[in-house]
A and B are shown apart, each in its own frame.
Chain A
Amino acid sequence: MTTNDFLQIGALIAALIVLTPLLGRFCYSILTGRGAKVLRPFRILERLTYKICGIDADVEMGWKQYASALLLFNLGGFVVVYLLQMLQQFLPLNPQNLSAPSWHLAFNSAVSFVTNTNWQAYAGETTLSYLTQMVGLTVQNFVSAATGIAAMAALARGISRKTSGTLGNFWTDMTRSTIHILLPLAVIWTLILVGQGVVQNLEGYQSATTIEGKEQVLPMGLAASQIAIKQLGTNGGGYFNSNSTHPYENPTPISNWFEALAILMLPAALVYTFGLMVGSRKHAWVLYGVMMLMLIVLIGISAYAEFSNNSALGVAHLEGKETRFGIVNSIIWSNFTTVASNGSVNAMHSSLSPIAGGIAMFNIMLGEIIFGGVGAGMYGMILFVLLAVFLAGLMVGRTPEYFGKKIEALEMRWTTIPIILPSALILIGAAIACSTSAGLSSLANRGPHGLSEILYAFTSASGNNGSAFAGLNANTPFYNITLGLCMLLARFGVILPVLIVAGSLANKKSTPMTAGSFSTEGMTFGLILIATILIVGALTFFPVLALGPIIEHLLMLAGTTF
C-alpha cells in the first residue's frame, strides 16, 4: 500500500468523524422537534403531509400502536411495489415497453425494497420501467430508511423515558425523517452526482456505434436521484445492474468518494443522535469508538489480504475491480457497504481475495451493527449492548441495568430472539441451498467459492444488506422465495422485538447511577461490547467460514483456485 492509499482511507474516515456531531445534532433536533432549523419549503411540505394524511403530529403512541402503524405502512409499501411491477406494461413511463417480471421475482424485489435490503435479483435496465423505479423503488429507498430511523428514535425514547407508556408518533417520525433528513441530503447528493456526470433524464435508451463499429445501447433514466438516496439511506439497490461500478452510476473518483461517504454518513451521525436522545454523548462515543475500531481493523485485514503476495494470482490483482477506483477504493467500499446495510458495490465481491470477500460476508454476519443500516444499525447495536450489559453487568454485584432501567426476562427474551434470528436464517437457508439441486444449480463456481456464493446470498438477505457476491444466479423461484422470506423475517423479526423492548423500558422507572452501577460510558464497556459481538455474534459462523473463505484462502496460498 502506498501513502496515497492510506490518505484515501484517512480522508474518508476523517470526513465521517467531522460530520458525525454536526449531522447527528441536526437529526436530533428533527426527531425531537427541539430547536430544529429547516428551510421554509420543507416545513411547508411537512405541514402539507400532515394535512393530507390526517396526521396529528403530537399524539403519542404506545409500542403496540407504533408497531402496528409501522407494519401497516410497510405492508402498504409492499403491495404498491408489487403491483407497480406486475402492471408496469399498462402504466405510463415505460419507453422500453418492459413487461411484468415473474411473480416470485416481483415478490422478491418488493420485499427487498420495503425491507431496506435492496437485493436485486433483477437487472434494473432490462426489467423495470421508469415509473416502477421512480414511484416504487425510489420512494421505498426513502421510506424504508425512514422506518429505520423511526424505530431507532422509538427505542431511544423508550430508554430515556421513565414510567411512560409511549414511544412517540410513528407518522411524525416518518414524515420528519423523510422530509427534513433524507430529502435535503438526497437533493444535495443528486446535484453532486449530476455534476460528476451521472445520468438524470427520462429519455429512451440511446444507441451508439463503438470504434469497433458495433452497436451499443446506452441505458438512461432518473439515475442520479435514485443513486443519491440509495447511498444515503443504506439501500444499495443500483439503478443499473452493475451498481456503482457502472460509469453512469459512479463515473469519477470524486463521485466515488461522495458515494462512499454517503454510505456511512447517516448511520454514523445517528449514533450521536441516539446519544443525545438518551442523554449520554459519552455512551454514544463509546459505541462509535467500538464501531470505528472494528471498521478500521476489518478494512486493514481486507487490505492485507488484497495486497499480500499470492502465488496463484500475483500481487494486487484487479480482476472484477474498476481500474478507475483501484484496490483500496474497492475494499473501502466493500467494507463500508457491508458494515452498513447498504449493499451497493463498486467492485464484484466475488472477485475480492477470499479473505476480503469473507470479511465482507463477516461484516454482515455480525448483524450490521458497525454503523449499520440507517437507524437499523443503531438499534441492532443496542441489542448487543443489552446483551453485553446483561452478561457482564452482574459482575459488579447488581442485577443488570441500562441507563438505570433493569434488564429483566422480557427484555432478554426480545433481545436474544432478534440477535439469533438473522444468524439462524443464514445458517438454515444456506444449508438447504447447498444440499438441494434447486440451490446448487445456480452456482457459477464450485468448491469453497461456491459455498461462499450461497452463504453470501443468504447472509446478504438475512442481514438486509442486499449486496451480491456475484456468480450466483439468484433469479430462480427457489432463491427468490427463500431469500425474500429471509429479508422479511430478518427485518420485521428484529424491528418488532426492538419496539417491544422499547415499550418495556419506557415503562420502567430508572435507578439513578451511583458508584456501584455498571457504567456503559468507558473503555471497559467498549471492550466488553467488542468481546460480546465477536463471541456471540461472530463465532457462530466460524465453522462455516472455515469451509468457505478461510479454506479457499489457504488453498489459494497453496496454488488452488476455484
Chain B
Amino acid sequence: MLLDSVLLRQATIDAFRKLNPKEQIKNPVMFVVLVGTILTAVSFSTNVIRGNFSAFELQICLWLFFTLMFANFAEALAEGRGKAQAESLKRMRTATIARRLSGDDHEESVNAGLLKTGDRVICESGDIIPGDGEVVEGIASVDESAITGESAPVIRESGGDRSAVTGGTRVISDRIVVRITAEQGRSFLDRMIGLVEGARRQKTPNEIALSLVLSGLTIIFVLAVTTLKLFADYSAREAGQDMSSVVTLPILISLLVCLIPTTIGGLLSAIGISGMDRMIRKNVIATSGRAVEAAGDVDVLLLDKTGTITFGNRMATEFIPVPGVPVQTLAETAQLASLSDETPEGRSIVVLAKERFGLRAETLPPHLARFVPFSAQTRMSGVDVLESAEPVRTLRKGSGDAIRKHIEENGGTWPSEIDPIMDRVSKSGGTPLVVAEEHFVLGVVHLKDVVKGGIKERFAQLRSMGIRTIMVTGDNPLTAASIAAEAGVDDFMAQASPEAKLNRIRQEQANGHLVAMTGDGTNDAPALAQADVGVAMNTGTQAAREAGNMVDLDSNPTKLIEVVETGKQLLMTRGALTTFSVANDVAKYFAIVPAMFSALYATAVSTGPLAQLNIMRLESPQSAILSAVIFNALIIVALIPLALKGIKYRPMGAEAVLRRNLFVYGFGGLVTPFVGIKLIDILVTRLGLIS
C-alpha cells in the first residue's frame, strides 16, 4: 500500500506543487528551509557569475531543496492515500436518476442532484438510493458495501432505529419510500469525501500548540545562527585571521536548517492526516482530527452491553426441574417446545438439550404439530402435538407470569417450589424461562447473557492504560451486576435511559474525565453529542449519525476500543517523532560547530583548538557540514513510513510506554545522527563529493 506506484507518482507531483510559498508559510519551520534554500541558491549563483563555481555550495543547495521536497512529499503521500479512497466514493455520486413522488403520489424521474430536503423518492430492487434520507414506508434489504465494504446486505425499514439510508447505496430487494433529509453536496457521502480528501482538514489543538513550540525553537535558532556570524567575525578579528571563506552564508544556513526541528516540522501534518486515515481503514470516519485526538485522551468508555460485552442473545445454560420431575423430561419438553422457535434463545435450548442429554430432536412432521409462535399478548410460545388433528400434548414455555396465568386458566396450580428456583436464576443475572406441559409446571430453563470470550482481558488491558469501562444496559440492576462482574467492567448502569446516559456523561465530564460512547438510536443523539467521542453506528438513525463525531461504517460497538487505541497511537507517533527530532540536534552541533571553527587559531602546523570537538572524526569541515545536511534530509524520508503507519501500539500503562518510547526515540534520537552522519561522511569522502 505504501509503495503503490500511482500514489508515489501523484505524491511526487504534489510535492512540487506544494513548493508554492503560500503553502509553505503554513509551516513556519519548512518556510525557513525554503528561504534558506533560496538564499543558498542566490549565493551559489552569484559565485558562479563571479567565476567561482563551488561544487560544495551546489550540493548544499540541492540537499536543502531535497529536505523541502521530502517534507512536501510526506504530506502529499499522506493526503494521496485519502484521495484515492475519496475517488472511489466519488464514483458513487455520479448522476443517479431519482424517482420522485410529487404531492399527489405521482411518480416522476428527476436528476438526483435536483432533489430537495423533504422530497420523497421510491426505490425498488436494483435502484441506487439517490440521497441521504429516512425510510418512511416499507422495508428493504440494502447493499451498503460501497460505503462500508461489508458485503452482507442490511435491512432498512420505516420507523425505529433502522430507518436511515445513505445516498449511493443500492436496494437489492423490496420497495421503500425514502424522504430525503440532506441536500446534494451536504450528504453523508459528500461529507465523507470531504473528510477523506482532507480538504477541510484543520490543525488540531495539539498540532497548533506543537507548531507554536516548533516556531519558538525556530526563532531562537535563527537568532543563534545570525548572531553566530557576528561572534565569528569578532573571533576572527581577534585572532587576526580571515574566516570569511569558512563562515559563509550557505554554511550558516546549513547549521540553521540542521538545528531547527525539520524532522517533526516536515512530518507533522503527515502524521495527523494518516491518523485519520488509519481510522478510515478501520472503517471509522472521524468528522475532525480533533475527534481523533480526543479519542486518545478518553478515559471513560460507555459500552452498550448488547453486542459489545455480550453476544446480545440470551442462551440456555441449565435445566432446573421442579422436585419430582426428571431433568431429562424437562429438557425433552423444552426442546420440543422450542423446535419451531427460530429465535437465538429457542435455538440455544435445542442445542443445550442435545449437548447435555444427547436428545436428537426429531423434527415433528408438520401434520403432527401445531406451532404456537410467541405473541405479545400471551408472552409464551410452544407447540401442540397432534394426533389426528387433535392436540394431545400442549407444551409451553414463557415468563413466570405468563405460564402461571396459562396453567391457572387450565385448572392447574402453581407449585410453590418453583419460586425459589426462579429467584436463584434471577439473582445470578439470568432469565428464568418456565416450561409447562398441560397444566403442570416441569421446571425452569436458565437463560443467560453470554459474555464474549476475551472481553475481560481486554478490559483489564484498558484498565492498565487508565481507561475505565462502564457497561450500559436496560437490564435490571441484578442482572446487570452479575454480567458486569463476569465481564470485568469497572462500573455499570442498569435500566439506563437515554437521559440517564446523558447525565452520566455530564457527571463524568464535570469530574474532568473524557468520555467515549457508541450509539445508534435517535434517543442516543443527545448523549452522542455530549460525549467527547461519540461513535454513531452507520446502521443508526440520521440523527445519531449527525450527533456523533465519528461514524462506524461496520456498526460494530466493540470498535470503540480500537478507536481509542488509534487515537493514542496518533498522539504517541507525534510525541515520538518530536522527541526524536529534538534529540537529533546534539549530534548536529558536534558535526557543524567544530567544522566551522576548526581553522580558528590554527597554526601552520596544527589545526585550531576547536577541531578537538570533532568527536566523530569527520573527514573535513566541508564533508562534516554536507553530511549533517544530507542526514537531516534523509531522516525525513526514512521516517515517512513510521509517520504514516504510526508507531507500534502496545496496550501498557503510561509509565511503561513512556520508558520504552523514551528509550527508542529519545535515546535513539540522540545516537542515530552520530552514527548516520559518520557513515554519510565516509560515503561522501569515498565518492569524492568533496574536493
Contact = CB atoms under 8 A, between A and B. Distances in A.
A542 interface: yes
Given A396-B658, A399-B297, A448-B238, A551 B512 contact: no
Contacts of B513: 511-512
Interface stretch (A112-120, A272-280, A315-323, A409-417): A409-417
Given A390-B213, A399-B571, A546-B597, A515 B654 contact: yes
A540 B238 contact: no
For the side of the interface on A, what is the size category? 35 or more
A531 interface: yes
22 contacts: A391-B575, A391-B578, A392-B662, A395-B576, A395-B662, A398-B654, A408-B205, A412-B212, A427-B227, A434-B230, A451-B238, A511-B297, A511-B299, A511-B512, A511-B513, A515-B465, A515-B653, A516-B467, A516-B654, A524-B655, A544-B224, A546-B594
Given A392-B658, A551-B600, A409 B230 contact: no
A411 B612 CA distance: 41
Given A514-B466, A524-B655, A394 B662 contact: no
A540 B231 contact: no
Interface string A160-202: 0010000000000000000000000000000000000000000
Interface string B589-609: 100011011001100000011
A558 B585 CA distance: 30
Contacts of B574: 394
Contact of B227 (A391, A411, A430, A512): A430
Interface centre among A399, A408, A432, A539 (most CB of B within 10 A): A399
B219 interface: yes
Interface in B594-637: 594, 596-597, 600-601, 608-610, 612-613
B246 interface: no
B145 to A, nearest CB: 33
Contacts of B319: none
A159 B594 CA distance: 43
Contact of A409 (B208, B231, B235, B468): B208
Contacts of B205: 399, 408-409
A543 B220 contact: no
Given A391-B582, A420-B216, A420-B220, A396 B572 contact: yes
A396 B209 contact: no
B223 interface: yes
A491 B603 CA distance: 44
Given A397-B572, A550-B610, 12 more contacts: A391-B213, A391-B582, A395-B579, A397-B571, A417-B216, A420-B219, A427-B223, A524-B659, A539-B585, A543-B593, A551-B600, A557-B609
B579 A397 contact: no
A79 to B, nearest CB: 33
Nearest to A560: B601
Contacts of B613: 546, 550
B519 to A, nearest CB: 23
A237 B658 CA distance: 44
B597 A547 contact: yes
A412 B219 CA distance: 15
Contacts of B569: 397
Contacts of B209: 390, 407-409, 411-412
Interface string A408-450: 1101110111011001100110111011000000000011101
Contacts of A416: 212-213, 215-217
Interface string A445-468: 011101100000000000000000
B665 A395 contact: yes
B239 interface: yes
B354 interface: no
A397 B293 CA distance: 9
B601 A555 contact: yes
Interface in A350-397: 387, 390-397
Interface of A: 162, 387, 390-400, 404, 407-409, 411-413, 415-417, 419-420, 423-424, 427-428, 430-432, 434-435, 446-448, 450-451, 509-512, 514-519, 522, 524, 527-528, 531, 535-536, 539-544, 546-547, 550-551, 554-555, 557-558, 560
Contacts of A431: 226-227, 230-231
Contacts of A540: 220-221, 224
B496 interface: no
B645 interface: no
Contact of A558 (B221, B224, B609, B662): B609
Contacts of A512: 299, 511-513
Interface centre among B299, B512, B657 (most CB of A within 10 A): B512
Nearest to A439: B234
A398 B610 contact: no
B296 interface: yes
B467 A428 contact: no
A154 to B, nearest CB: 22
A558 B589 CA distance: 24
A287 B308 CA distance: 44
A420 to B, nearest CB: 4
A512 B509 CA distance: 11
B228 interface: yes
A447 B579 contact: no
Contact of B657 (A396, A417, A450, A539): A396
Given A398-B296, A398-B571, A427-B224, A509 B512 contact: yes
Contacts of A411: 209
B234 A435 contact: yes
Interface in B644-691: 649, 653-655, 657-659, 661-662, 665-666
A308 to B, nearest CB: 15
A539 B293 CA distance: 32
B655 A392 contact: no
Interface centre among A398, A419, A511, A514 (most CB of B within 10 A): A398
B591 to A, nearest CB: 12
B110 interface: no
Contact of B658 (A390, A448, A524): A524
B502 interface: no
A551 B235 CA distance: 10
B206 interface: yes
B528 interface: no
Contacts of B255: 543
Contacts of B576: 394-395
Contact of B466 (A400, A516, A550): A516
B583 A396 contact: no
B574 to A, nearest CB: 5
B662 A551 contact: no
A176 B227 CA distance: 44
A80 B219 CA distance: 37
Contacts of B370: none
B514 interface: yes
Nearest to B603: A558
Instruction: Enumerate the 8 nearest inter-chain pairs by beta-carbon distance, A residue then B residue, closest first.
Output: A516-B466, A394-B575, A514-B466, A397-B568, A554-B609, A416-B216, A431-B227, A395-B575
Nearest to B226: A431
Contacts of B230: 431-432, 434-435
Given A394-B206, A404-B512, A417-B216, A539 B233 contact: no
A411 B208 CA distance: 11
Contacts of A395: 572, 575-576, 579, 657-658, 661-662, 665
Nearest to B264: A391
Given A399-B571, A514-B299, A430 B231 contact: yes
B503 interface: no
Contacts of B231: 430-431, 434, 451, 543-544, 547
A411 B228 CA distance: 30
Contacts of B293: 399
A544 B228 contact: yes
A547 B231 CA distance: 8
Contacts of A394: 206, 571-572, 574-576, 578
Contacts of A554: 609-610, 612
